[in-house]
Structures are given as C-alpha cells and as structure tokens.
Structure 1
Amino acid sequence: MTSRNKGKGKSAALSWVDRIPEAPVRIAILCVAVLIISVSGGILIGKLFGPEAHQSELQVVSALAAPVKVEKSAAKSDVFVPESPYAYNDYPVVSRTEEVPLQVVALPIEPEAVEPIKPDPAIEVLAAEKLSSEEPAWKRYAALAPPLQDKPLIAIVIDDVGLSHRRVEELNALPALMTLAFLPYAPSLQGKVELTRREGNEVMLHLPMEPTSSDADPGPDALLTGLDNEELRRRTIRNLDSFSGYVGVNNHMGSRFTADSEAMAVVMDIMAERGLLFLDSKTTSASTGFRLAVERGMPSVKRDIFIDHVIEDEAILKQLAKVEVIAERAGVAIAIGHPHPETIRVLKKWLPEAKKKGFLFVPVSAVTALTFKG
C-alpha cells in the first residue's frame, strides 16, 4: 500500500466526532453544546441553592440584625410610655368620667425639627452676656428672668414633658415664662429641649423614682430603694446623661424613694457634683430631698401646690386661685402641673389675667437664687 493509500485508510478510520474540528460548522456546533451544558447546570444549581437556600440566608441576616428582646419596663427606648405618666404622680387623679387614674394612649414619635415659635412679646427679659462654661449648670442654663420687681412671683413647672412634640409646642406657646421638666426616656429629647430654650423657657430633668403604689410605673431606669448603691449610681448617671441644657432635677413620682435618705444621698451626691439645683416635688411629706440638697450646698426649693390633680377646668382654676394666694402672702409660689389638654387650655386663659393682677412669672432658677447663699 502506498503512503497515499495509507493516509486514506487512516482518515477513513476516524470517527465522525474526530472529524468535527475539521468541519466548516465546527464553531456553531461547539456553541450549541456549551449552551446546553450551561442551561442544564443552571437548573441543577437553582434546585440546590434556590428560594429555600436564599430564604435561609435572609433568616440568618434578619436574626443577626434583630434587636434583643427586653422587658418593656426595663428597656431604654424612645417609644417607651408607662401606663400613664400624666396620671400617676403619687396623688389621686380624677378624670371627668370616672374616679380612677386616667389612662393615656401611647403617643407616636413626632418629627423633631419644627419652625421656631415666636415668643410672646409681652414677656420682657434682661439682656445678659452668655455665662462662662465654668459656671454651675443651674446658672449656665438658667432662663433669663424679667426684672424682679416688687411683685409676687410665680414659677409654673410642667412635669412629664417630652412624650408629645405637639404638647411641647403648645406649652412653649403659652403667654408666660415656663419651666418644663422633661422625662429622660422621652423620644427626640434634645430637639425639644433646644426648642424650649429658644423660646426663653427653662428646662429641668424629671427623674423617675419609686412610688409607694405598686400600680404606678415610673418608667425605665427608675431609681428604686431595692437597688444597691452601684446600680443607683449607674441609673442616675444614665438618666442625667439623657440630654443637656437643664438647670436641675425634680422627682417623677418617688413617694417611696425620696423618703429613703440613704438611697437619696447617693443620688444627691451625683447631682451636687454636676452643679444642678433640686426641686422637691413633695410627693410625700416624708421626702428627704430638700434637706439633703441643702446639706450639700445645692440650690433647692420645694413645690407649693399641684394644680391639676383633678383634671377638670374648674378644679384647675381653683388650684390656680390658691397659687395666687400663696404668692401674695409669701412673695413667691411654685406650682406644678402636667401637659393635660385641660391644664394647657386653662393656663392659656389664666396667665394673661394673672399678669394683669400684678403677678410676675419667673423660672425655677430665679426662685432658688433668691434664697441660695452659695
């Protein structure tokens, strides 16, 4: 056999597969084969790692991102609202419909940024230079008081503030200088505090403390008599650090805690170091707060009267009449109220009338300055 014939025999022996690379359509056939293999592989991978596998991955990510579940009464949360911070203040609250503590629905978090409210032009304040940062907090953040003329003075303090931005706006729109005491667990606190100070009003921190009644919930991180000193210090510091710009502290509830001089001493030591004043809300006659504050050289005053323990317009007006009597007799009166719609409505009408009678409205810091010798 010749070499040419040998070549032909070898070529004939090749299978059709071996001849594909030599065929003109070899590229098209190879592309089709690759496409079939890819589609088959995709289907197989989809079955192995499809929606079920993707769902498992999402579940793992969601579990990692989810916050740790904690009890409502112990959480430091922007949306925490106790049973009724407006109703429970260690004195009986009577609503218009029934003689039981008023139940308040949790208020939604509202935007912090708002247009500044123009202050009442009738309120005159002294022009003063900004105090040095070395001044104690009760002086550094004090609202500018009007000239203390020979008039009876009234300081109106509104407790339990901060849960509703709308209520903060309404309080700042009242036609007199006010002192607003903010709950440390209220949402978006700093913005509401800055709004209040821009309007010329004074700010305090309303510190949650243990009440006598087991039915009243003072809120998260409340100061309790059963806590050891280390935990008391931790909770006190956490509450005091919740916002800035306040002159001092008054107690939210606290009929049990303020009567415990040992526990109160731990708290008062911290407040004294921070240069704060203390307003004793006097939710119990056994309160040791005022005495302990004076012993530590802190500016301190006591509440004279609650104006809205009965949440009715007529009852609130009667309490305000008592405030006028106290101010006329003693020269100064400190009244505490709460951000009830009824209270705000009555104050809006009463304040201009009280001004016409000659009463002068001042912040709490101005009252403490009258008696403080430090």
Structure 2
Amino acid sequence: MGRRDVRRMLMGNKTPLWERPAVLVALMVGVLAIGVAIGMALGLWSGKSSKPPPGAEQAPAPVIAAAPPPPPSPSAAPDEDEGRPLLAPPPPRPDPGSSEALEFGHASDVVSLAPAPPPPSPEVKLPPAGAAVWLKNALPVPKTGGRPVIAIVIDDLGIDRRRSERMAQLKGPLTLSYMTYADDVARQAHDARARGHELMVHVPMQPQSHSYDPGPEVLEVGLSAEEIRRRLDWGLSRFDGYVGINNHMGSRFTSDAAGMRVVMGELRRRGLAFIDSVTSERTVGAEVARHFGVPFAARHVFLDNDQGVAHVRGQLAKTEAYARKHGAAIAIGHPHDGTIEALAGWLPGLEARGFVLVPVSTVIRMGNGG
C-alpha cells in the first residue's frame, strides 16, 4: 500500500484542497486582484508626488492659431495684386494727428519692390528723352568703400518754416523734398542746397480718401493729359536745382497707370528722376518708370508714422538692418520734432556703425533702390 493510499484512508478518501480545480482558480483570481490593487496604489502615490507645490503655476501649453486671411479690398479684382510690391510686414501704426501718416494706412512699414515687369506694350509711344538733368543736379557720389549706404529723404518741407530750417541744419547729405505750394520755397530750397543737401520736389497727388487735402494743383485721376502736365509744370517751376520728384500722398493717383504714364513721360522729357514714396501697395510708379526709362527708386522704410522719438529710433534701426542685408536703404521722414531729435542723435555715429550716408541719387545710380 502506497503513501497516497494511506493518506486517503486517513482523510476518508477526500481529495486535498490544493488538488481541487475550484480552489486553484480561486487562488489565481485572488493573486490577480491583489496585483491590481497594488498597481493602483502605486499609481496614486506617484501622481501625488509629481504635483507642483501649492502656489506654483505650470506654463500652459502654447496655442498656435492660424492668422485669418486679410479681407479683400472692395475695389480690387481677384488677380489685381499680381506684380505689385511685396509687402511682408504688418501695416504701420498711423498717428491720428497726422494726415500724411493716415494716408499711408495701407502701405507697409518696410517695402521691397517686385522684380522688373515685362517690357511695355507696343502701343505705348515713349517721348524723346531729355538731357539727364537729375545727374547735373545730383550731389557727388560719396566714397563708400563697399559699405552699405543709407539715403534719408525728408519731405513735406517748406510749410512749417521753423522745423524745415531745423531739419536743413542737420548734418548731411540728406535729400530734402519741398512742397510745391510752400511760401518762399525757392529761397528755402536754395539755402538747403547751400548746406550740402540734395533737393527734390514734393508733388501733391490724389489720395484715396476725400477727407485729406493734398493741397493745390494736385494731380488727380481722370484729369486730361494736358491738365496733368500743366499742374506738374507749375510745381516744377517753383524752384530749381532738384534731381526729381516724389509723391505727396497719392495713394489713388500712383495706382492709376494712365495718369502715371503722363507723369513719367514728362519726367523722361525733362531728364528727371522719380522716388516712389509707396503710399499704396497698389502703386504702379516703379513699373511705369521702368517702361519709360525714368531713373527711379522707392522708399524702404517710413520713419515717423508714429512721431515719438523712440519709434523713429526703432525705424532707423530697421533702416540699418535693411541696408546691411541689401546694400542700400531709403527711409522717408517728415519735419516732426521727434524725427529731428532722433536724426540728430543718429547721424553722427552712422559711419562708426559701418554705413555711409548718401543722397538718394547715389542709390538710383547703384540700381538697388527698388
């Protein structure tokens, strides 16, 4: 008789607990339950230990939202922006007290012109080109030594004589653009030229809004070619010694190819240059100037849509950055107190920072003004 038989006799032929299937299943379930309970307890403990101490804030996860597309201009066709100036940065902050700043409402703070457009259509007959008066009246090209150059154009001059005089007293060469209808403008321009500044004529052109008054003898859309020439001739007769013109306001007129063709034809005949103030992203100034063979350039930075000194200094820093990247920059400002103060502090150290101040004619000659 074996041990198992003896064991069964002693236990009354009953099967041991550890050999019964039900008991084994119950034991396995119990072990699993204990394991799950231990796991949950460890999870709760680790979660409590990872919480920040009372009063500490966790940085919220960054939320990246796509900017909504700008609303289309009500007056623009769907493909009207093709070939226009490239305007990457956001629009500037206009100063509510400045009509010329408000006129710049749809123009960019920093602007680069698009590549050259195709040649003019055969039906556009170009007038004979006159002698290059702009070169005759241009200041000599400063020695640059390969350094980036900056041209500062100050327009709206002549109306406020005191501030115009203060601007003309700054170290040059600046490019000073005088209003056609300013009193005593010939004397003011002559004095500025004697101080070593280059001259331009600031020609009033029609703005988009009827609430802004660009001044008398303004060039307007819809005028006959003869009337545009008459008004332009009046403005150009107010003083002499200038290299060309730039537009005062003009967001509507500079967007009108028909009117601008008349202007460029007259500039070509007179041998003058054109500086586009770019008061509208829809300007055709550069495009038409190329077609007519008119020497031109376009501004890259506005200095004083906000007239505060700190803002102007920031815009001058943008001008330096643009010139460093592209070799040349044109900035336009106005005879405001903040602009005068900022320029007075900025000009003396320009050469030490590796730049050369030049008249705008130098940038035109270099061919990188647009």
Say if 2:350 and 2:357, in contact at 8 Å, map to a contact too: no
Q: Find out whether 1:297 has 2:298 as its counterpart.
A: no
Q: Find out whether 1:158 has 2:163 as its counterpart.
A: no
Q: Which amino acid aligns with 1:230?
A: E
Give, in whole Å, the separation in 2 of the partners of 1:168 and 1:186.
11
* Alignment match of 2:340 (pick from 325, 344, 347): 344
Give, in whole Å, the separation in 1 of the partners of 2:347 and 2:240.
28
Say if 1:91 and 1:283, in contact at 8 Å, map to a contact too: no
Cα deviation, 1:211-258, whole Å, max 9, x if unaligned, reads 011111100000011322221121111111121110001100000000
Distance apart, 1:196 and its partner CA: 1.1
* Alignment match of 1:212 (pick from 190, 200, 208): 208
1:88-103 counterparts in 2 under 5 A? 93-94=94-95, 100-102=96-98
Q: Find out whether 1:226 has 2:222 as its counterpart.
A: yes
Q: Find out whether 1:306 has 2:299 as its counterpart.
A: no
Cα deviation, 1:111-131, whole Å, max 9, x if unaligned, reads xxxxxxxxxxxxxxxxxxxxx
Normalising by structure 1, report the TM-score: 0.64
Q: Which amino acid aligns with 2:236?
A: L
Residue matched to 2:265: 269
Aligned to 1:290, the other structure's residue is in SS state helix
Give, in whole Å, the separation in 2 of the partners of 1:320 and 1:247.
24
Cα deviation, 1:5-62, whole Å, max 9, x if unaligned, reads xxxxxxxxxxxxxxxxxxxxxxxxxxxxxxxxxxxxxxxxxxxxxxxxxxxxxxxxxx
Normalising by structure 2, report the TM-score: 0.64
1:40-59 counterparts in 2 under 5 A? none
Distance apart, 1:135 and its partner CA: 5.0
For this pair of structures, how many residues does the alignment match?
249
Give, in whole Å, the separation in 2 of the partners of 1:144 and 1:203.
13
Residue matched to 1:142: 138
Cα deviation, 1:135-190, whole Å, max 9, x if unaligned, reads 52111111223213211100000010111333232122212310001110001111
Q: Which amino acid aligns with 2:345?
A: K
Distance apart, 1:92 and its partner CA: 5.6
Going from structure 1 to structure 2, the CA distance change for 1:166 and 1:101 (only over 3 Å counts) comes to: closer
Give, in whole Å, the separation in 1 of the partners of 2:274 and 2:164.
22
Say if 2:225 and 2:259, in contact at 8 Å, map to a contact too: yes
Residue matched to 1:356: 352
Aligned to 2:350, the other structure's residue is in SS state helix
Say if 1:207 and 1:251, in contact at 8 Å, map to a contact too: yes
Say if 1:181 and 1:203, in contact at 8 Å, map to a contact too: yes
Residue matched to 1:244: 240
Give, in whole Å, the separation in 2 of the partners of 1:164 and 1:210.
22
Q: Which amino acid aligns with 2:284?
A: T
Give, in whole Å, the separation in 2 of the partners of 1:210 and 1:277.
20
Give, in whole Å, the separation in 1 of the partners of 2:336 and 2:185.
19
Q: Which amino acid aligns with 2:94?
A: V
Give, in whole Å, the separation in 1 of the partners of 2:234 and 2:169.
30
Residue matched to 1:74: none
Residue matched to 2:167: 171
Give, in whole Å, the separation in 2 of the partners of 1:165 and 1:102.
17
Aligned to 2:254, the other structure's residue is in SS state coil
Say if 2:172 and 2:196, in contact at 8 Å, map to a contact too: no
* Alignment match of 2:196 (pick from 194, 200, 207): 200
Residue matched to 1:327: 323
Gaps of 5+ in 1: 1-89, 95-99, 105-133
Identity of matched residues, %:
41
Residue matched to 2:362: 366
Aligned to 1:200, the other structure's residue is in SS state coil
Distance apart, 1:346 and its partner CA: 0.7
* Alignment match of 1:286 (pick from 273, 282, 286): 282
Give, in whole Å, the separation in 2 of the partners of 1:237 and 1:176.
29
Say if 2:154 and 2:333, in contact at 8 Å, map to a contact too: yes
Gaps of 5+ in 2: 1-90, 101-129
Residue matched to 2:185: 189
Residue matched to 2:69: none
Give, in whole Å, the separation in 2 of the partners of 1:293 and 1:152.
25
Say what the alpha-carbon RMSD is for the aligned residues. Answer: 1.9
Give, in whole Å, the separation in 1 of the partners of 2:256 and 2:180.
22
Distance apart, 1:353 and its partner CA: 2.4
Q: Which amino acid aligns with 1:161?
A: L
Say if 2:148 and 2:327, in contact at 8 Å, map to a contact too: yes
Distance apart, 1:322 and its partner CA: 0.4
Say if 2:204 and 2:214, in contact at 8 Å, map to a contact too: yes
